[in-house]
Structure 1
Amino acid sequence: MEASNSRMQTFGQTEINWDKLDKTKFYVVGAGIFTGVTVALYPVSVVKTRLQVASKDTAERSAFSVIRGILKTDGIPGLYRGFGTVITGAIPARVIFLTALETTKVAAFSMVEPFKFSEPTQAAIANGIAGMTASLFAQAVFVPIDVISQKLMVQGYSGHAKYNGGLDVARKVLKSYGIRGLYRGFGLSVMTYSPSSAVWWASYGSSQRVIWRFLGQGTDLKEVAPSLSTIVAVQAAGGIIAGATASCITTPLDTIKTRLQVMGHEKRPSTRQVIKNLIADDGCKGFYRGLGPRFFSMSAWGTSMILAYEYLKRLCVKDD
C-alpha cells in the first residue's frame, strides 16, 4: 500500500490535474502556443495528404518529390495551402478536445480505480477513454475544416480542382451537396481519429508509467522529486512512442478517409471503390501511402503538442 501511494505521489508531481488550472489563462495562452506548433508542422500534413491522394500515374510518389514539386510550383506558400482555414477551425476544436479530455480523464480514473489494475494499465484505460471521448466531440467541428483544408492542399494536383480560398471551397461544396458535403467522410473520420486518439493517449499514459518505473521513480518513499528536465524527457519519449503506435494502427483508415474527402463530387466514389482502387494501384501497401510522413507527423505533432500542452499546464497552475 505504501509503495502504491509513493507511485501516486511521483505521478502527482509530474502531472497537473484539471482542477488545478486557471481555465481562462489556459485557453488564451494555449491558443497562442498551439498556433505556433501548427505553423511549424503544417507542411508535413500537406505532404502526407498529397501522397495519400496521388494517382497511379502521378510522378511525385515520395515525400521528397512532393516537396520539390510544391516548392518549384508555388514556393514556400505552397506548403501552407489551407492553413488559414485550419487555424481558424483548430482553435475551437482544440478547446473542445482539451476540455473533454481533461474532464473525462478524471472521471475515467475514478471509474477504473476499484478494479485495482496496475498503474500503467489504469493510465492506459483512463487516458484511452478520455482520448476517444474528446475526439468524438472535436470531430463535429474539425471534419468540415478537414474537408476544406484538404481540398486546398491538393488543388491543381493530380487532376484536382482549383479554388479561390477556403470560402470558395465551402460555397461550392454547400451548393452541390448542402451541409452533408462538409461532413463527407465523417464516419471514417470518427473511425480513424477516435481510435487513433484513444491509442495515442493510452500509449502516452501507460508508457510514461513504464518509463518512470524503469528509472526507479515511485519505488522509494524518501526519493527526491524528479527534475523538470527529466519530466520533459519522459513526456517526450511517451509522445514518440504514442505517435509511432497510433500511426501504424490507423494509417489505412486515414488514407481511405482522405481520398473520400478530396475526390471531386462528380466522381462520388464509395468507400468500397476507394479500397478497390488502392488495391488495384499498389496492392495492400496502398493503404499505407504516406505512412512515412504520417509516422513523422504523428510523432512530431504528438511530441510537440504534448510538450506544449504539459508546459501550458505548468504555466496555468492556480496560485495556492
Structure 2
Amino acid sequence: METSNPRVQSFGQTEINWDKLDKTKFYGVGAGLFTGVTVALYPVSVVKTRLQVASKDTVEKNALSVIRGILKADGIPGLYRGFGTVITGAIPARIIFMTALETTKVAAFKMLEPFKLSEATQAALANGIAGMSGSLLAQSVFVPVDVVSQKLMVQGYSGHAKYSGGIDVARKVIRSDGIQGLYRGFGLSVMTYAPSSAVWWASYGSSQRVIWRLLGRVTDPEKAPPSQGTIALVQATGGIVAGATASCITTPLDTIKTRLQVMGHDKRPSTVHVVKKLIAEDGWQGLYRGFGPRFFSMSAWGTSMILAYEYLKRLCAKEEEMVI
C-alpha cells in the first residue's frame, strides 16, 4: 500500500494499525494469550501486594521471605490467591483497554500530524494519550476486581481478615460500605494506573523509534524489512525501558492505593493518614515498599505483554494487509 508519509514508510513494516486487524480473531485469541501471561506473572503481584501492606513488626521484610512464608503456609496455590477473580474481571477490562488504546492512538497520530513533531516525540505523545485513555476506561471494570483480589491476596496476613472466596469478599464489602466499597481507592487507582499507562506507552512508543533510528531504519527506509527476531528484540527492549520508567514514577501511589484497598471495613483511613504512617514506619522509602517486585513485575509484564500483544496483532492482521 503506497503512502506519501515517510513515517509510515519507515515503521509500516513493524507496526500494524487498528484498521488492519481482524477484530473477532483479535479479541478471541487475545483473551487466551493474556490469560497465559497473567498465569505466569501473577505470583509477583501477590508478593508485591504483601510487601506493601506489611505492618512494621512483620517478620517478612523482603520478597524472598514473603515467598518462603507463602509456600510454607499454603504451597503453590498460595501464590495464586485471588487469581480466579482477577481473570474473571481482566478479560472484559483488557478488551476495553485494547479497543480504547488502538482507536485513540490512531486518532492521536492524526491530530498531531500538523505539528510536524519529531518521530519519537509524536510517538510518545500519541501512545501516551492512548495509554491513559485506555486505562481510564478499563479502571471502571478493574478497580472492583482489584479490591477483591487484593483482599484475597493478603487474607490472614499481618492481621488481615480471612474470606471463603471472591464472592464472600464482595458480599462483605457491599454489606459494610455499599457498592462504593468496591471502588475504594478508585481515585488513587486512576491517579496511579492512568499516568502509569501513559508513561509506559509513551516510553515504549518513543524508545522503539529511537532504537530503530540507531539501527538506521529511519535514515535508510529502503532497507529490506527487518527479521521477526529483530522486531521482537526491539519491542522487548522498548518494553523493558517502559516498565522501568513507569515503575520508578508510580510506585508510591501504588503503595498508598493498595493499603487503602485492603484496610478492614472498620478502618477508614485517609490518604494523608496512610502516607504519614508509611513515612513514620520506614521514612520516605516506605512509599517504595514492594518496589523490587513492582519494578520486576512491570518490566517482566511489560516485556511479556508487549511481545504477546505485538504477536497477537501480527497473528490477527488481515491477510491482504500483511507484510511479506
Give the counterpart letter for 2:38 in structure 1: T
Question: Do the aligned partners of 2:135 and 2:194 also contact (CA within 8 Å) in 1?
Answer: yes
Contact 1:6 1:220 in 2 (8 A): no
1:311 to partner: Cα distance: 0.3
Match of 1:19 in 2: 19
Letter in 2 for 1:229: G
Is the contact between residue 26 and residue 313 of structure 1 (CA under 8 Å) also seen in structure 2?
yes
Match of 1:209 in 2: 209
In structure 2, distance between residues paired with 1:190 and 1:69 = 32
Distance in structure 2 (CA, Å) of the matches to 1:285 and 1:277:
12
Amino acid at match of 1:36: G
The aligned amino acid for 1:212 is: W
2: CA distance, partners of 1:208 / 1:46: 31
Mapped to 2, the partners of 1:138 and 1:301 lie a distance apart of 17
CA apart distance, 1:265? 1.4
Aligned pair 1:229/2:229, yes or no?
A: yes
Change over 3 Å in CA distance of 1:279–1:221 after alignment to 2: closer
Amino acid at match of 1:76: I
Counterpart in the other structure of 1:28? 28
Q: TM-score, normalised by structure 1?
A: 0.98
Alignment pair present for 1:66 and 2:66:
yes
Partner of 2:79: 79
The answer for the alignment partner of 2:197 in structure 1 is 197
1:97 matched residue in structure 2:
97
Amino acid at match of 2:62: S
Give the superposition deviation at 1:218.
1.7
Whether the 8 Å CA contact 2:9–2:221 is kept in 1: the answer is: no
- Cα shift at 1:8: 2.8
For residue 154 of structure 1, what is the aligned residue in structure 2? 154
How many residues were matched structurally? 317
Q: Which runs of 4+ in 1 moved over 4 A?
A: 4-7
Which residue is 1:294 aligned to? Answer: 294
Structure-1 separation of matches of 2:302 and 2:201: 10
TM-score w.r.t. structure 2 length?
A: 0.97
**Deviation for aligned residue 1:219:** 1.0
Instruction: Tell me the residue number matched to 1:128.
Output: 128
2 CA distance for matches of 1:13 and 1:174? 50
Aligned to 1:10: 10
Distance 2:7 2:197 in 1: 26
Which amino acid in structure 2 is aligned with residue 79 of structure 1?
L
Quote the offset at 1:10 in angstroms. Answer: 2.5
Post-superposition shift, 1:5? 4.6
| Residues 10 and 221 in structure 2, CA contact (< 8 A), matched pair in contact too | no
**Residue ranges of structure 1 left out of the alignment (5+ in a row):** none
1:50-102 CA-partner distances (Å, limit 9, x unpaired): 00000000000100000000000000000000000000000000000000000
Deviations 1:6-47 (A, max 9, x none): 443121110000000000000000000000000000000000
Task: Find the aligned partners of 2:88 and 2:222 in 1 and give their Cα distance.
Answer: 48
Q: Over the residues paired in the alignment, what is the CA RMSD in angstroms? A: 0.9
Distance 2:48 2:9 in 1: 41
Unpaired segments of 5 or more residues in structure 2?
none
Q: Tell me which amino acid in the other structure corresponds to 1:285.
A: Q
Using the alignment, how far apart are the partners of 1:222 and 1:49 within structure 2? 49
